[in-house]
Amino acid sequence: MKKQKVKIWITVLLCMTVLIVATGLGSVSIETSNILGIFAHKLLGIDLPNNLSSNIVSIFWTIRLPRTIAAFLVGSALAVTGTVMQSVLRNPLASSYTLGVSSGASLGVALMVIFGMTIPFLGRFSLPMVGFVFGLGTVLLAISMAMQLDKSLENQTIILIGMVLSLFVSSLLTILIVLSKEHMEQIIFWQMGSFSAIKWSHVFVLLSIIFPGILFLMYFTQELDIMTFGEEQAISVGIDMRRMKIVLISASALLTGTAVAFVGIIGFIDLIAPHVVRKIYGASHRIVVPMSALFGGAFMTIADLVSRTIISPSELPIGAVTTLIGAPFFAYVYFNRRSVTKKNA
């Protein structure tokens, strides 16, 4: 138990270091003293250092800081929902994406772009809002269809229906794009995913949904522990499996939907974070869920840092970076641990 505590503290410290480094680095280098000056100015109202150009202040405060925080939040949300979905469905490849969040959101965004609609009062939040509603809607539709077909909501039914629906929605999207080529660029850019153009207003929305969402999911860690042992065990200790599945899947879809709506489709973290975190911290969800949040957040922050600095002034697509860093890292953690366990045995 003591060892576990040390691991957790190391993780927290690592996360803080990652956040500090990520805000300190960018395609424009800003001195630490100036960064502190900007913080002092924005938070305490102290005058800015004299020689500091207003563009540097904008770059740090309006562009880099919200972007870094958003990357952390989105990474957390994707990792936590990946963990929850894998445990609920007892499938190591499951995630909210499997149930159609991404394809649903893409379809919503495509419709908005093609018909050039904006929702009154929402302005530039129209696109994320519709992406969110369609993403969540697709998952809820998948669950309700699964309920019609299978009263006990077997995992296989949920996954199968989710995948079929997801593919169906994707085909609608493809047809829409083919019929409306002039909007292809915008839709494809959106699908590629990016933390570019994320501002404070987006961060506040992300924070107000993702943070309580993760806390909500943490409330069910005991149920998640039991569910991983199998449905029979869970039922025998009095868990209403059907209700639990609906609650947890919907909450996960809400979180993923929010993330996807703002930054597009970024894969891989939802898939690997749960595996890596379980390898390091064991199986107890009381630890695995919050650690997934920290690990996913730190991982996404690093990926975003790489995407915006490595070929500066250009940028790499974030989805490519998460996979590029993630795949070897995942292989390392997975096989390294495996050989350790073998030796012990």
Question: Closer to other proteins at the Cβ: 199 or 242?
Answer: 199
Closest to other proteins by CB, 236 or 312: 312
The nearest distance, CB 19 to other proteins, in angstroms, is 17
CB of 144 to other proteins, least distance (A): 34
Question: Measured from the CB of residue 70, what is the shortest distance to other proteins in angstroms?
Answer: 12
* Residues 80, 217 contacting (CB under 8 angstroms): yes
Q: What distance in Å separates the CA atoms of residue 269 and residue 75, rounded to the nearest whole number? A: 7
User: What is the three-class DSSP state of 293?
Assistant: helix
Minimum CB distance to other proteins smaller for 178 or for 345: 178
> Rounded to the nearest whole angstrom, what is the least distance from the CB of residue 307 to other proteins in the complex?
9
- Closest listed residue to residue 112, CA positions, set 165, 180, 162: 180
Whichever of 148 and 174 has its CB closer to other proteins, that residue is: 174
Q: Which helix (H) or strand (E) holds 326?
A: helix 318-344
Q: From the CB of 170, what's the least distance to other proteins, in Å? A: 17
- Kindly give the residue spans of alpha helices, DSSP state H, lying in 95-125: 101-115
Closer residue to other proteins (CB): 54 or 344: 54
Rounded distance between C-alpha atoms, residue 62 and residue 54, angstroms: 11
C-alpha closest to that of 165 among 104, 246, 105: 104
Q: Which is nearer to other proteins, 56 or 158 (CB)?
A: 56
Nearest-approach distance from CB 74 to other proteins, in angstroms = 14
Q: Under the rule (CB under 8 A), what is the footprint of other proteins?
A: 26-28, 53-59, 61-64, 116, 181-183, 185-186, 189, 192, 194, 196-197, 199, 308, 312-316
Radius of gyration of the chain (CA): 21
CA distances from 127 to 36, 146, 186, 329 (A): 35, 29, 12, 34
Residues 105 and 135: their CA atoms lie apart, in Å, by: 4
